[in-house]
């Protein structure tokens, strides 16, 4: 009986793995096609003519607050803030929130921007740790710096929300650079559609690019394979993933590195929640709030406003980052478990959240199970080697197709990487990802699944990004 | 393993075919990427050259159509249309007439009119955008015609935008406002843009009074949404339409329960230097109206200092801060009063006053 049950379990597991493989790859392929349709449509409707018309009508804009949470960012903070002060936008304020840094982040800000004390009354609309001081720059009227006790990124953004003066806010990481027109492109969407409550632009990798005076002047692929693989991953995640989810009205993540939100609706959900995956958690709660209160709303990803960010250039840093992302995802799913497979939340729940549960959360476990089952099946002499080889070949070739499809979306429409060598290298990365990199990431995601209750962020090394090429 | 699959006679043939197909597909994708890159680069170059050629011909030649090769591909049509739209934006008189003539001679307008009936909505939308940029009077009837048969609301918004650049008479403006009210309200920016275009066109032709007449008619028009009326007032101030000024006070009085219209009226009049509505707006029940009035109060109403000082105790955070800022800007007695308030027992008033004093000093 026991042997029969074992035999049954082994057979059932094979079906699960095979069906999982088919379902996941079909989903990714469908997302690519949906993204292609969305991007072509976007390209048609966002012509240079329309852009010129929108830029010309200076009367129409909504003032925006840019919130920059900063914890131990002394290496990059001055350049980052300087770049933000050079954005093309008629009316905006930059609020840097020094979240209890133990390095000289605040001292650098004080010195470089001539900060003076400000006593602006602050409304406590969303909760956060105590603010110790608010400063205003004597040189730049639109620069405010908040010094507060350490509470994490979510807490820091909440403090920024309370101090902000404008109806829309944009949260951006301190190690990221916005393209000069990114704020204009993303905030104009709020003028074009009253139902829009949140939007995010594309995050691209800064490593390998040339930066001058806080702006990316030449775009290139990073030299190391580790960084180039991340370029491929970001391209796939944003251009095929998020654009595809957009089309399905199931977008669940607006990257914490660059997101623009309507303040009133974020205040209505009590701001950011203290967690390592605060970006996904907020978007899920926004969906939930609007659905629960029958508020017509839209949450959109738009592929042309660009935020450049530093990618980890060491494997250890990358693993820490991925571990944190995975823990954040699990935490956000658990915190919003009422939305799981709940028809009340429509496609967001049945499509978007289901994908995160069955592919992102269970995926690593099933994939590991697949790897582990090979020696077991071999031991019991149940392994069909021919089938296994064919399955692996099919998986790799299909995966490569999906990767090149994502590169195609980027090169076809946005053409950021113009050098033929860069395009070919991205195609090579599309194949290389399956040999080592994917397995390492799988292992880290498994570790994250086992330790998802940990709340710590960890630290990341930063590189100064002024006037030099960014390579590891 | 998965016997029912693997034991079927052609299973491995299918899987092998699948793997081979994906391999070939991947190779084709890479080749297409490289081909497309070269093609786009060439096409951009050709498009740039054609645009330059068309612009030069329009400015220098008597009959530019003789010098320019007729467009055949979509890229060539796009290059010509961009060049012509740009010339029409920058030139008037003879050059503009030649540009319009070129549209007909090269059948560019016909091409986009055909595309405006394309089965894909975003291609129709794009064609309408391009036709709008030509500002051809002949397109007025065409736009009205396709508006009636157009199924997509997204495209309808674009058609009305195109029409807004061709509207000349107050009756036409009213028709457009009514058509606008038949669609779901899009955004303030869009509606303001529509009226801004109308006012700009009328001003350029010295027919600004047509907009004044339209504003009077609009006041009691039940077919037009209040939000559209509000945006019309905002456009009036954005485009500095003095002819609408007389009727703005009537809008304020007639829409006592529509604070958004009242705010727009207060703002528009204040921007034109007319502060007649500010005193009553300072006493308004809606905090947003009080806030708007405070932004201009230092320019006209410092005889109302006690009332403005009272607003430092307003229930609204924004009104308290704005009252402080108004008093700080006004200076003199108002500033002295603000200093007294900074040590007031009312901590909200004191905080607002202290902040306003530091801002004033800065």
B189 and A119 in contact by Cβ < 8 A?
Answer: no
Token representation of residue A183 = 């704020």
Mutate to test the interface with B, among A40, A393, A405 (most CBs of B within 10 A): A393
Q: Does B188 touch chain A (CB under 8 A)?
A: yes
Element of type H or E holding A144: strand A143-148
Give me the pLDDT at residue A41, please.
81
Q: Is B207 helix (H, G, I), strand (E, B) or coil?
A: coil
Pairing of strands A176-178, A298-309: antiparallel
Work out the minimum CA distance from A325 to partner chain B, whole angstroms. Answer: 30
* B19, B37, B238 member nearest A420 (Cβ): B37
In whole angstroms, what is the distance from residue B195 CA to residue B172 CA?
12
Q: Does A103 touch chain B (CB under 8 A)?
A: no
Which of B3 and A339 is assigned the larger pLDDT? Answer: A339
Q: For the segment B142-153, what is each residue's pLDDT rounded down to a tens digit?
A: 999 999 999 999
Highest mean pLDDT among A218-227, A383-392, A462-471: A218-227
Closest by CA position to B272, among listed B306, B249, B298? B249
Closest by CA position to A310, among listed A400, A211, A207? A207
A88 Cβ contact partners less than 8 Å away, ≥ 6 residues apart: A180, A181, A183, A184
Q: How many residues does chain B have?
A: 362
**pLDDT category of residue A55 using cuts at 50, 70 and 90:** very low
Q: Does B191 touch chain A (CB under 8 A)?
A: no
A400 and B18 in contact by Cβ < 8 A?
Answer: no
A427 and B352 in contact by Cβ < 8 A?
Answer: no
**Fold matches, B39-296 and B297-362:** yes
Q: For the segment A230-277, what is each residue's pLDDT rounded down to a tens digit?
A: 999 999 999 888 888 988 889 999 998 999 999 999 999 999 999 888
Give me the pLDDT at residue B242, please.
77
Nearest CA in chain B to A406: B29
Could you give the C-alpha distances from B157 to A228, A254, B236, in angstroms and in order?
A: 43, 28, 20
- pLDDT of B90 over the 70 cut: yes
Percentage of residues in chain A having pLDDT higher than 90: 55
The predicted complex's ipTM stands at 0.79
Percentage of residues in chain A having pLDDT higher than 70: 92
CB proximity under 8 Å: B 318-347 to A: 320-321
**pLDDT category of residue A5 using cuts at 50, 70 and 90:** confident
- pLDDT of B360 over the 60 cut: no
- pLDDT of B361 over the 60 cut: no
Percentage of residues in chain B having pLDDT higher than 70: 98
Q: Please list the residues that pair with A203 across neighbouring strands.
A: A307
Percentage of residues in chain B having pLDDT higher than 90: 46
User: Which residues on chain B are in Cβ contact (under 8 Å) with A45?
Assistant: 122, 125-126, 129
Give me the pLDDT at residue A56, please.
47
Give me the pLDDT at residue A45, please.
73
Q: Does A58 touch chain B (CB under 8 A)?
A: no
Locate the domains of chain A by residue range: 1-60+175-472
Closest by CA position to A207, among listed A96, A303, A323, A318? A318
Q: Does B238 touch chain A (CB under 8 A)?
A: yes
Q: For the segment A20-35, what is each residue's pLDDT rounded down to a tens digit?
A: 888 888 989 999 999 8
In whole angstroms, what is the distance from residue B46 CA to residue A217 CA?
25
Q: Which CATH architecture has domain B297-362?
A: Alpha Horseshoe (1.25)
Report the CATH fold assignment for B39-296.
1.25.10
User: What is the mean pLDDT of the segment spanning B241-260?
Assistant: 85
Closest by CA position to A67, among listed A175, A145, A184? A145
Q: Does A191 touch chain B (CB under 8 A)?
A: yes
Give me the pLDDT at residue A184, please.
86
User: What is the mean pLDDT of the segment spanning B207-224?
Assistant: 86
* A121, A191, A383 member nearest B1 (Cβ): A383
- pLDDT of B29 over the 60 cut: yes
**pLDDT category of residue A469 using cuts at 50, 70 and 90:** very low
Give me the pLDDT at residue A188, please.
81
- pLDDT of A472 over the 50 cut: no
**pLDDT category of residue A88 using cuts at 50, 70 and 90:** confident
Q: Does A386 touch chain B (CB under 8 A)?
A: yes
In whole numbers, what is the pLDDT of chain A averaged over residues? Answer: 87
Which of A61 and A421 is assigned the larger pLDDT? Answer: A421
User: What is the mean pLDDT of the segment spanning B108-129?
Assistant: 93
Q: For the segment B153-182, what is each residue's pLDDT rounded down to a tens digit?
A: 989 999 999 999 898 888 888 899 889 889
Q: Does A48 touch chain B (CB under 8 A)?
A: yes
Contact B306, B313 (CB under 8 A): no
Give me the pLDDT at residue A96, please.
97
Q: What is the DSSP string of B42-56?
A: HHHHHHHHHHHHHHH
User: Which residues on chain B are in Cβ contact (under 8 Å) with A405?
Assistant: 29
Locate the domains of chain B by residue range: 39-296, 297-362
What is the reported pTM?
A: 0.80
Q: Does B33 touch chain A (CB under 8 A)?
A: yes
- pLDDT of A196 over the 90 cut: yes
* Phi, psi (deg, nearest 5) at residue A136: -125, 145
Give me the pLDDT at residue A50, please.
55
CB proximity under 8 Å: A 104-163 to B: 116, 118-121, 123, 136, 138, 141
In whole numbers, what is the pLDDT of chain B averaged over residues? Answer: 89
- pLDDT of A12 over the 80 cut: no
- pLDDT of A37 over the 70 cut: yes
A408 and B358 in contact by Cβ < 8 A?
Answer: no
């Amino acid at each position: 009986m026991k042997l029969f049950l074992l035999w049954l379990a082994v057979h059932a597991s094979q079906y699960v793995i095979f069906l999982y493989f088919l379902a996941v790859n079909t989903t990714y392929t469908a997302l690519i096609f949906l993204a292609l349709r969305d991007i072509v449509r976007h390209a048609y409707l966002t012509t240079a003519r329309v852009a010129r018309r929108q830029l010309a009508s200076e009367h129409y804009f909504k003032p925006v607050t840019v919130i920059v949470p900063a914890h131990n960012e002394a290496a990059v903070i001055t350049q980052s803030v300087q770049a933000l002060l050079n954005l093309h936008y008629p009316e905006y304020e930059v609020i840097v929130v020094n979240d209890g840094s133990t390095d000289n982040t605040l001292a650098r800000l004080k010195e470089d921007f001539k900060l003076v004390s400000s006593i602006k009354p602050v409304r406590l609309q969303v909760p956060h740790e105590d603010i110790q001081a608010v400063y205003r720059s004597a040189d730049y009227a639109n620069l405010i710096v908040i010094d507060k006790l350490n509470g994490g990124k979510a807490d820091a953004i909440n403090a920024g929300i309370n101090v902000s003066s404008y109806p829309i806010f944009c949260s951006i990481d301190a190690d990221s650079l916005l393209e000069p027109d990114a704020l204009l492109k993303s905030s104009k969407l709020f003028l074009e559609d009253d139902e829009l409550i949140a939007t995010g632009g594309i995050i691209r990798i800064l490593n390998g690019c040339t930066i001058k005076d806080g702006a990316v002047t030449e775009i290139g692929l990073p030299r190391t394979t580790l960084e180039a693989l991340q370029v491929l991953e970001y391209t796939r995640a944003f251009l095929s993933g998020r654009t595809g989810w957009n089309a399905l009205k199931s977008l669940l993540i607006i990257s914490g590195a660059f997101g623009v939100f309507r303040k009133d609706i974020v205040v209505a959900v009590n701001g950011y929640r203290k967690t390592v995956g605060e970006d996904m958690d907020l978007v899920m709660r926004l969906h939930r709030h609007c659905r629960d209160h029958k508020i017509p709303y839209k949450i959109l990803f738009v592929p042309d406003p660009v935020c450049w960010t530093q990618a980890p250039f060491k494997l250890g840093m990358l693993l820490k980052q991925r571990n944190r992302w995975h823990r954040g995802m699990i935490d956000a799913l658990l915190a919003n478990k009422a939305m799981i497979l709940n028809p009340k939340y429509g496609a967001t729940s049945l499509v978007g959240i289901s994908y995160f549960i069955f592919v992102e959360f269970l995926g690593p476990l099933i994939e590991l199970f697949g790897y582990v089952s090979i020696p077991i099946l071999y031991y019991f002499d149940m392994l069909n080697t021919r089938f296994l080889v064919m399955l692996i070949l099919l998986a790799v070739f299909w995966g490569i197709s999906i990767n090149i499809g994502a590169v195609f979306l980027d090169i076809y429409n946005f053409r950021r990487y113009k050098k033929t060598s860069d395009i070919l290298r991205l195609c090579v990365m599309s194949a290389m990802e399956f040999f080592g990199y994917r397995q390492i990431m799988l292992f880290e995601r498994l570790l994250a699944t086992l330790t998802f209750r940990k709340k710590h962020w960890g630290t990341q090394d930063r590189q100064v990004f002024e006037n030099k090429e960014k390579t590891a | 393993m998965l016997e029912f699959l693997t034991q079927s006679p052609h299973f491995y043939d299918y899987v092998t075919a699948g793997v081979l197909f994906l391999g070939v597909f991947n190779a084709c994708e890479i080749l297409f990427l490289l081909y497309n890159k070269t093609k786009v680069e060439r096409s951009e170059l050709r498009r740039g050259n054609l645009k330059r050629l068309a612009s030069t011909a329009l400015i220098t030649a008597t009959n530019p159509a003789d010098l320019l090769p007729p467009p055949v591909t979509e890229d060539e049509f796009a290059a010509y249309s961009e060049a012509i739209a740009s010339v029409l934006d920058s030139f008037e008189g003879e050059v503009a007439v030649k540009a319009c003539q070129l549209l007909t001679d090269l059948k560019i307008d016909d091409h986009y009119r055909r595309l405006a009936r394309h089965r894909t909505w975003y291609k129709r939308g794009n064609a309408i955008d391009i036709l709008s940029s030509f500002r051809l009077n002949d397109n007025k009837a065409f736009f009205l015609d396709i508006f009636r048969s157009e199924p997509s609301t997204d495209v309808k918004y674009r058609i009305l935008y195109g029409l807004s650049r061709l509207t000349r008479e107050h009756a036409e403006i009213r028709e457009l406002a009514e058509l606008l009210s038949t669609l779901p309200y899009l955004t303030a920016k869009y509606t303001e843009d529509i009226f801004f275009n109308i006012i700009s066109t009328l001003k350029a032709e010295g027919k600004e009074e047509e907009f004044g007449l339209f504003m009077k008619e609009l006041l009691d028009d039940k077919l037009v949404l209040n939000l559209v009326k509000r945006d019309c007032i905002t456009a009036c101030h954005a485009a500095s339409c003095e002819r609408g000024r007389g009727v703005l006070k009537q809008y304020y009085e007639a829409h006592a329960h529509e604070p958004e219209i009242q705010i727009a009226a207060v703002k528009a009049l204040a921007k034109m230097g007319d502060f007649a509505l500010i005193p009553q707006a300072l006493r308004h029940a809606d905090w947003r109206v009080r806030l708007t009035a405070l932004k201009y109060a230092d320019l006209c109403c410092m005889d109302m200092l006690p009332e403005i000082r009272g607003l430092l105790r307003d229930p609204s955070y924004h009104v308290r801060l704005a009252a402080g800022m108004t008093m700080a800007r006004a200076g003199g007695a108002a500033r002295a009063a603000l200093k007294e308030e900074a040590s007031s027992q009312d901590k909200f008033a004191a905080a607002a006053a202290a902040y306003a004093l530091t801002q004033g000093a800065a």
